[in-house]
C-alpha cells in the first residue's frame, strides 16, 4: 500500500477512467494536467518539423540497428532544441515543490537537465521514482514525456523506411516490408499500451489501490482485478478488458489486424517464410489480452503457454519478437500485472551470443536435475534468446527491461544492456572504485554475460514450479529473494565454469559490481533489485573483498568476490528453495533482516560514495 492512504481494501476506491485520452478526435473536455503536458511536448516536436522539416534520411546504412540508432540521435537533437527548455522548466518546478529535508537527491536530479534528458532517452527513471509519492501528477507527466519521445521515434522511422533506397535494404539483410511491419507494430500498439498504463498508475495510487488483495499470492491472480467493496466479502472479478475498455478494445483489434497483414505479406512473398507462424502467435496474443476468463488458474496456463510460444517462435528463426506483459510492479502488494508490450528483433550478432550462453545453460540444467526431488516435475532450462529491443511500452517507459525469464522463456536485450552499462554502470563503478581500469568494450561484453547469467539464475528451481512457489509465495519479499537468488546464482554459474580463470573472473566481477552500484544508486527501496544489492555489498565488505581506500574503495580480490557471492547463492537455495520446511513467512522474515542491514554505517558510507 502506498503511504498516506489509510487502510481501505483493494477496490474500495475503484473508479477507472474509460475516456479516450488520445487527441485524434480533438475533443475539448478537461483532461488531467499530465495529459496536457504530453500534448504540449508533442506540439513542440511538431513545431520542429514545421520550422526545419524532417531530419534527412541517413545514407550508407549498414544494419537495421544503425538506422534505429540514427533515429534516436535525430529525435534527441529535436528534443533538446524544441522541447528541452519546456521539459527543464517543469522538472525545476517539480523540484522546487519537493520537501527540502527528505527529497534532496530527488531535487538535485530533477534540477540537472543533462541527467534528466539522458534518463528519459534511456527510459531509466528509477532514480526519481520517489516523485510518484511526492507528486503523483508529476510522475505521470514524466511517464507520458517518455512515451511521446518514443512515439516520435516511430513516426520518424516510418518516414525513413519509405525513403530508403532498395539497395540499402539489400545491404542490411531485410526488406522494406519487414522493417515497416516492425515499425507499424510499434505505431499501432504502443500508444494504447502507454495510455492504459498511466490509467493503471492512477488506480494503483488511489486509496487501497496497492493493498494486498484476497487473491494475492494465487498463481494467475495477477491477470485480473479482484475488487472489494466496504462490507462486502465476495470480490467483484474484472478482466483487464473491462477495466481499460477504451484502450483494450483497440489494442486487441489492432493486434488481430496486424496478424492479417502478416499473412498477406507472406502470401505475397514480401517477407521471409520464417514469419509463417507469426500470425497465429499474434492471434494468441490478442486472445490473451482480450480474454474474458476470470479463473486465475486458467489464465496462468494461458499466459504461460504464450510465454513458451514466444521462445519457440524466436528459436524457429522469426526475426521479429513481440514480448507481452508479465511483471507485477505498478500496483505494489496488490500484484497486478503491468500493462506492457515490447518489440525486438534478432540478428546474426545475437545468434552468436546464444551459442556462448548455452555453455552456462548446461551448468544450470545440472543444478536443476540434481534437485528434482523438490520439484513438482522435472523441466528443461530454456535456451536463451538474445535480441535488440528498440520499442518498449508501459512500465518500460520508466524502467527499461534488460532481460527476463518466464515459463519456458529467457530473453536478453543486448542494446539496452550495453547502453545502460555505458551510461550508468561504468561511471558509477569508476566513481566508487577510482583505481579500477575499465575497458568500455570489455565491460559491455561482460555486462551482457552478467545479465544472461542472472536470467539463468531465475530458471534454477523456478517459482513457476508449484512446490517451489508454495515455499516462496508471492509478495514484495518473494520478489526480493528471487532477484537475490538470480544475482548470486549468476556468480555460482560463473564460478563453476571459470574458477581458475582470473582474467574472466576480474572482467565479470567488474560487471557485477557495476550492477550492484547501479541498483544502489538508481533503484529504490520500492523495487526488488535494491535490497539484493544491500546484502551483496554487505557480504563483500564483511569478507574483505571490498575495502576502503583513500577517498573511495578498491576491489581487493575478484576471485574471492565471485566465490563469496556464489556461496551466498548456495545458502539461499538451501535455506528457502531446497528446505522442505520453508514457507513464505520465512521469506518475509529474511527480507526484514536484509532491510535492517541498510542502517549499518558501512552500507550507508558505500551508498554515499555513489552520490
Mean pLDDT value of segment 61-76: 92
Q: Are 304 and 166 in contact (CB under 8 A)?
A: no
Predicted confidence at residue 6, as pLDDT, reads 47
* 305: β partners: none
User: Distances from the Cα of 336 to the Cαs of 201, 229, 233, 489, in angstroms?
Assistant: 11, 18, 20, 27
Cα–Cα nearest to 67, from 184, 177, 191, 164:
164
> How would you class 348 by CB atoms within 10 Å of its CB: exposed for 0-12, middle for 13-18, buried for 19 or more?
exposed
pLDDT category at 528 given cuts 50, 70, 90 is confident
**Per-residue pLDDT tens over the stretch 175-188:** 899 999 999 999 99
Strand 341-345, strand 320-324: pairing: antiparallel
Q: To the nearest 5 percent, what fractions of the chain are helix, strand and coil? A: 65, 10, 30
Three-state DSSP class for residue 288: helix
**Per-residue pLDDT tens over the stretch 211-247:** 989 888 788 999 999 999 876 678 999 999 999 999 9
Q: Alpha helix (H) ranges present in 337-465?
A: 348-369, 414-420, 426-432, 440-459
Three-state DSSP class for residue 600: coil
Predicted confidence at residue 4, as pLDDT, reads 36
CA dist 456 and 416 (Å) reads: 18
Q: Are 208 and 5 in contact (CB under 8 A)?
A: yes
The answer to whether residue 523 scores a pLDDT higher than 90 is no
CA dist 481 and 160 (Å) reads: 45
Mean pLDDT value of segment 65-86: 94
The domain limits of the chain are 32-165, 174-345, 348-608
Cα–Cα nearest to 303, from 288, 314, 293:
288
The answer to whether residue 101 scores a pLDDT higher than 80 is no
Name the region of 325 (left: φ>0; alpha: ψ -120 to 50; beta: rest). beta
CA dist 380 and 383 (Å) reads: 9
**Per-residue pLDDT tens over the stretch 455-490:** 999 999 999 899 999 999 988 899 999 999 999 999
Mean pLDDT value of segment 423-427: 94
The answer to whether residue 38 scores a pLDDT higher than 60 is yes
Average pLDDT taken over every residue of the chain? 92
pLDDT category at 3 given cuts 50, 70, 90 is very low
Predicted confidence at residue 13, as pLDDT, reads 87
**Per-residue pLDDT tens over the stretch 547-604:** 999 889 999 999 999 999 999 999 999 999 999 999 999 999 999 999 999 999 999 9
Three-state DSSP class for residue 162: helix
pLDDT category at 351 given cuts 50, 70, 90 is confident
Q: Which residues of 489-517 are buried (b: 16+ CB within 10 A; e: fewer)?
A: bbbbbbbeebeeeeebbbbbbbbbbbbbb
pLDDT category at 127 given cuts 50, 70, 90 is confident
Contacts (Cβ under 8 Å, ≥6 apart) of 80: 117
Mean pLDDT value of segment 22-31: 66
DSSP string, 512-524: HHHHHHHHHHHS-
Three-state DSSP class for residue 350: helix
pLDDT category at 406 given cuts 50, 70, 90 is confident
Predicted confidence at residue 2, as pLDDT, reads 39
How many other CB atoms are found less than 10 A from the CB of residue 441? 9
How many other CB atoms are found less than 10 A from the CB of residue 329? 19
Contacts (Cβ under 8 Å, ≥6 apart) of 238: 224, 225, 226, 227, 294
pLDDT category at 28 given cuts 50, 70, 90 is low
Predicted confidence at residue 447, as pLDDT, reads 95
Which percentage of the chain shows pLDDT scores above 70?
97
Amino acid at each position: 500500500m502506498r503511504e498516506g492512504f489509510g487502510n481501505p481494501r483493494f477496490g474500495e476506491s475503484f473508479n477507472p477512467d474509460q475516456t479516450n485520452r488520445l487527441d485524434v478526435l480533438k475533443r475539448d473536455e478537461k483532461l488531467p494536467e499530465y495529459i496536457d503536458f504530453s500534448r504540449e511536448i508533442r506540439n513542440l516536436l511538431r513545431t520542429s518539423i514545421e520550422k526545419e522539416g524532417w531530419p534527412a534520411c541517413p545514407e550508407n546504412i549498414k544494419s537495421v540497428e544503425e538506422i534505429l540508432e540514427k533515429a534516436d540521435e535525430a529525435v534527441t537533437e529535436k528534443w533538446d532544441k524544441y522541447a528541452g527548455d519546456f521539459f527543464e522548466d517543469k522538472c525545476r518546478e517539480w523540484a522546487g515543490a519537493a520537501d527540502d529535508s527528505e527529497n534532496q537527491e530527488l531535487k538535485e536530479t530533477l534540477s540537472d537537465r543533462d541527467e534528466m534528458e539522458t534518463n528519459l532517452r534511456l527510459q531509466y527513471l528509477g532514480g526519481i521514482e520517489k516523485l510518484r509519492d511526492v507528486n503523483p501528477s508529476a510522475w505521470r507527466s514524466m511517464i507520458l514525456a517518455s512515451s511521446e519521445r518514443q512515439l516520435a521515434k516511430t513516426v520518424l522511422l516510418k518516414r525513413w523506411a519509405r525513403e530508403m533506397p532498395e539497395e540499402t535494404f539489400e545491404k542490411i539483410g531485410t526488406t522494406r516490408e519487414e522493417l515497416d511491419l516492425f515499425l507499424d507494430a510499434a505505431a499501432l500498439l504502443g500508444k494504447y499500451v502507454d495510455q492504459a498504463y498511466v490509467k493503471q498508475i492512477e488506480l494503483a495510487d488511489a486509496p487501497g489501490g496497492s493493498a494486498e488483495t484476497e487473491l494475492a499470492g494465487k498463481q494467475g491472480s495477477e491477470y485480473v482485478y479482484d475488487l472489494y467493496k466496504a462490507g462486502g466479502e465476495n470480490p467483484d472479478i474484472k478482466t483487464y478488458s473491462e477495466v481499460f475498455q477504451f484502450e483494450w478494445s483497440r489494442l486487441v483489434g489492432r493486434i488481430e489486424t496486424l496478424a492479417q497483414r502478416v499473412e498477406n505479406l507472406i502470401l505475397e512473398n514480401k517477407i521471409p517464410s520464417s514469419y509463417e507462424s507469426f500470425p497465429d502467435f499474434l492471434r494468441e496474443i490478442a486472445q490473451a489480452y482480450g480474454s474474458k476468463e476470470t479463473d486465475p488458474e486458467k489464465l496462468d496456463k494461458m499466459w504461460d503457454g504464450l510465454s513458451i510460444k514466444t521462445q519457440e517462435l524466436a528459436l524457429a528463426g522469426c526475426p521479429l519478437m513481440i514480448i507481452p506483459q508479465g511483471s507485477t510492479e505498478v500496483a505494489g502488494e496488490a500484484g497486478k500485472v503491468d500493462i506492457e508490450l515490447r518489440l525486438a528483433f534478432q540478428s546474426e550478432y545475437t545468434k552468436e551470443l546464444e551459442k556462448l550462453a548455452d555453455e552456462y545453460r548446461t551448468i544450470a540444467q545440472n543444478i536443476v536435475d540434481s534437485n528434482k526431488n523438490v520439484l513438482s516435475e522435472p523441466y528443461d532450462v530454456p535456451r536463451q534468446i538474445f535480441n535488440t529491443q528498440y520499442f518498449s511500452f508501459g512500465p518500460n517507459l520508466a524502467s527499461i527491461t534488460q532481460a527476463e525469464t518466464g515459463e519456458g522463456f529467457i530473453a536478453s536485450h543486448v542494446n539496452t544492456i550495453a547502453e545502460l552499462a555505458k551510461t550508468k554502470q561504468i561511471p558509477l563503478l569508476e566513481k566508487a572504485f577510482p583505481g579500477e581500469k575499465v575497458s568500455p568494450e570489455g565491460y559491455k561484453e561482460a555486462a551482457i554475460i552478467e545479465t544472461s547469467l542472472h536470467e539463468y539464475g531465475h530458471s534454477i528451481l523456478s517459482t513457476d514450479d508449484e512446490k517451489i512457489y508454495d515455499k516462496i509465495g508471492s509478495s514484495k519479499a518473494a520478489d526480493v529473494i528471487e532477484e537475490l537468488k538470480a544475482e548470486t546464482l549468476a556468480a555460482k554459474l560463473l564460478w563453476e565454469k571459470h574458477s581458475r580463470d582470473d582474467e574472466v573472473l576480474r572482467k565479470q566481477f567488474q560487471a557485477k559490481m557495476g550492477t550492484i552500484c547501479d541498483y544502489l544508486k538508481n533503484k529504490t527501496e520500492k523495487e526488488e533489485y535494491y535490497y539484493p544489492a544491500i546484502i551483496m555489498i554487505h557480504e563483500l565488505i564483511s569478507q574483505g573483498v571490498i575495502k576502503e581506500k583513500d577517498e573511495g574503495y578498491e576491489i581487493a580480490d575478484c576471485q574471492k568476490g565471485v566465490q563469496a557471492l556464489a556461496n551466498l547463492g548456495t545458502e539461499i537455495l538451501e535455506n528457502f528453495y531446497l528446505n522442505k520446511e520453508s514457507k513464505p513467512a520465512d521469506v518475509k522474515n529474511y527480507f526484514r533482516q536484509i532491510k535492517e542491514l541498510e542502517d549499518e554505517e558501512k552500507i550507508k558510507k558505500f551508498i554515499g560514495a555513489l552520490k
